[in-house]
Each structure stands twice: as C-alpha cells, then as structure tokens.
Amino acid sequence: MIIKYLFALLLTFSFFGVQAQRPAPDQLATKKGPVIIQPVLHGSVVFTWDKKTIYVDPYGGAAAFTGLAAPDLILITDIHGDHTDLKTLESINTSKAKFIAPAAVAEMLPEALKSKVTVMKNGDQSIQLGIGITAVPMYNLPETTDSRHPKGRGNGYVLNMGGKNIYLSGDTEDVPEMRALKNIDAAFVCMNLPFTMDVDQAAQGVLAFKPKVVYPYHYRGQNGLSDVENFKKLVNAGNNQIEVRLRNWYPTN
C-alpha cells in the first residue's frame, strides 16, 4: 500500500511543476467509446480514443506529458515555438507517431520526422487511424502582409472521432470560417492578445458557431492570462446551453 502511495505521488509531482497540477481528464461519449480529454499546457491537449493517443501541439518538455501514453498521432497547427516545439518533440517518444501539419511546419521538422508527416492545407480532409481530420483556416484580422498569422500558413483542425466533432482553433481571430462551423461537440478556442483575439471576440465567435462544449485554451498573452471567467459569463449570457469548461492550462502560475 505504501509503495502504491509513493508511486502515485511520483506521478503527481514533477521537478518542473507542470504535471503537479495537471487538470483531471474529461470525457466525451462517442459511438466507439469515450474520448478522454486531457488538458496539458497552453495550446497542448491530449486525446485518447479507441486505444489511440493523439497529441496536439506538444509543448512544455517531457515533464508535461509524464504518465501519458506515447502518441499514435501528433497534430501541429503553426510554426511558432509554442506549437512547433522541437525540444519537446525530441524529448517525447514519437517512434510510432504519425504527424499532421501544414507545409510550413513540415519544413521545420528534423529529417527523421519529415517522413512521418501528412501535409494538410486549409480545406484538406484526411482520415488517419480512423480519425477524420479537416484542416480549417486560422489567421489574424485584418489580413496584412506583416500579420503574425497570415491566412493559409497554419491550420486549425476539426477531428471526428466516433461521430463526435472536436474543433481546435490554433492561433486565430474571430474569422468567418470559424463562425461557419457546424455540429461541433467540443471546441478549444484561443484568446491571447496581441497574438490572437480578446475575450469578447472569442465569446462572440463561439456564440456564432454554438459548440456544445467549449474550452478556453491558449489564453496567456503579453499581459498575463486572459479573463476566462469573463469569457464564460459572456458566452452563457448569450447562450446558456453552451457548457464552458474552465481548466488550468498554466499549472505553474
């Protein structure tokens, strides 16, 4: 019993402080069993479904993923270091992983990983390991030549697992393509100025496409963390049928 207790403590606490406060996983029921949703850090989330493990934008080093199964599939949204984190990719076990990424990301990957990548551009669709994947635009408004996130470079994604649709916004603003989404069961929506959008923009976008569940994520900006409690109030004032799930994506704060 003591050994089991010590082992549990070891899994719960890491020297880096990341895993120590990792939120408990959530579940989304599907026709082929539940999707286990594990928030990790910033824009990183891990899904487990049908005996497969999917990492999205792995970031934060190996410690952030301690105790989680090695990925079967890795999706990357954009070129910036909090999405294409080469140090993290080198530190986790990617031996069996397939990758989905836009071309700009694929070009940045080491040679050993490039052969594992399926390149997707905005609008592309693919099926990987029984998971339907649609790449959707993510970009800043207004569209300018010096945009941090120009249209077409990065991808948001809609994943279909067992008939349920999960949207990952990546770094975007309240763009028409996000507003036009349909039948989203769970959405992960960013809000961090000056890189993406503010809380009000994010709330208005969510109210437009009406996901059943929404997670504010990727909400650390230049001035600290965005007010996700206010995001929840704005969304539920406009539509109290949308479940807003607030989770701690910054466990060292």
In this predicted structure, the answer to whether residue 3 has a pLDDT above a threshold of 80 is no
In a domain, 70, yes or no: yes
Annotate 5-42 with b (16+ C-beta within 10 A) or e (fewer): eeeeeeeeebeeebbeebeebbebebeeebbebbbbbb
Using the predicted structure, report yes or no on whether residue 13 has a pLDDT greater than 70.
no
- The answer to whether position 252 is within a domain reads no
Domain count, the chain: 1
pLDDT at 193: 84
Q: Measured between alpha carbons, how far is 205 from 209 in angstroms, rounded to an integer?
A: 7
How much of the chain exceeds pLDDT 90, in percent? 83
| Residue 249 domain-assigned (yes or no) | no
Whether 253 maps to a domain, the answer reads: no
Provide the domain limits for residue 173: 24-244
What percent of the chain has pLDDT above 70? 92
Q: What pLDDT score was predicted for residue 243?
A: 98
Which band of pLDDT confidence, cut at 50, 70 and 90, is reported for residue 209? Answer: very high
- Residues 192-220 have a mean pLDDT of 95
147 — pLDDT class (breaks 50, 70, 90)? confident
pLDDT: which is higher, 79 or 193: 79
Q: What is the mean pLDDT of residues 180-184?
A: 98
Q: Indicate which CATH number applies to the domain containing 217.
A: 3.60.15.10
Examine residue 16 and state whether it is found in any structural domain, yes or no. Answer: no
Give the C-alpha separation, 133 to 104, whole Å: 18
Whether pLDDT at 4 is above 60: no
Report pLDDT for 253.
Answer: 54
pLDDT digits (tens, 9 = 90+) for 71-95: 999 999 999 989 999 999 999 999 9
Residue 217 pLDDT: 97
Q: Which pLDDT belongs to residue 19?
A: 46
15 within some domain: no
Q: What is the mean pLDDT of the chain?
A: 91
Question: Residue 251 domain-assigned?
Answer: no
Instruction: Locate all alpha helices (DSSP H) within 33-154, ordered by sequence.
Output: 86-91, 103-106, 111-114
Question: Does a structural domain hold residue 121?
Answer: yes
Q: What pLDDT, in 10s, does the model give residues 17-33?
A: 444 478 999 999 999 99
